[in-house]
Amino acid sequence: MSEERRQHRHHLIDVAAGILAGRHVGADQDVTTADLNIHYLAPVVEGPARAEATVVRAGKRLIVTAVDVTDVARNRLAARSTLSFAVLDRR
C-alpha cells in the first residue's frame, strides 16, 4: 500500500472516531486524539472505503472508540483500529 493511501485511511479513521467522540461531550468541552492504533488487514482495491465507528467506553476524561474500515466493493474488512480521545474543557 502506498504511503498516500495509508495516510488517507488514517485520516478517515481519525475523523470518523473524532466526530463520534465529540458527540459524547458537553457543549463546553472538546476532544483530541490521545492514542491511535491501526491494524491494516487488506488493501482497499476498488473502493469506496466505509468507516464505522463505535464507542467502547465514554468516561469523563477519556473516550475509547473502535473503527472498522471496509472495502465496500469487495465487502471485506480492510482495517480495524482503536482510538482514545482526551476530553478537554474549552478555555
Q: What is the pLDDT of residues 45-77, one digit of tens each?
A: 887 999 999 999 999 999 999 999 999 999 999
Q: Quick check: 33 pLDDT over 90?
A: yes
pTM confidence score: 0.88
What is the per-residue pLDDT across 14-29, written as a single tens digit (0 to 9) for each?
Answer: 999 999 999 999 999 9
Q: Quick check: 2 pLDDT over 70?
A: no
pLDDT score recorded for residue 28: 96
> In angstroms, rounded to a whole number, what is the distance separating the alpha carbons of residues 84 and 59?
11
pLDDT score recorded for residue 5: 61
Q: Quick check: 35 pLDDT over 90?
A: yes
Q: Which of 33, 31, 70, 64 is nearest to 51 (CA)?
A: 70
> In angstroms, rounded to a whole number, what is the distance separating the alpha carbons of residues 11 and 5?
10
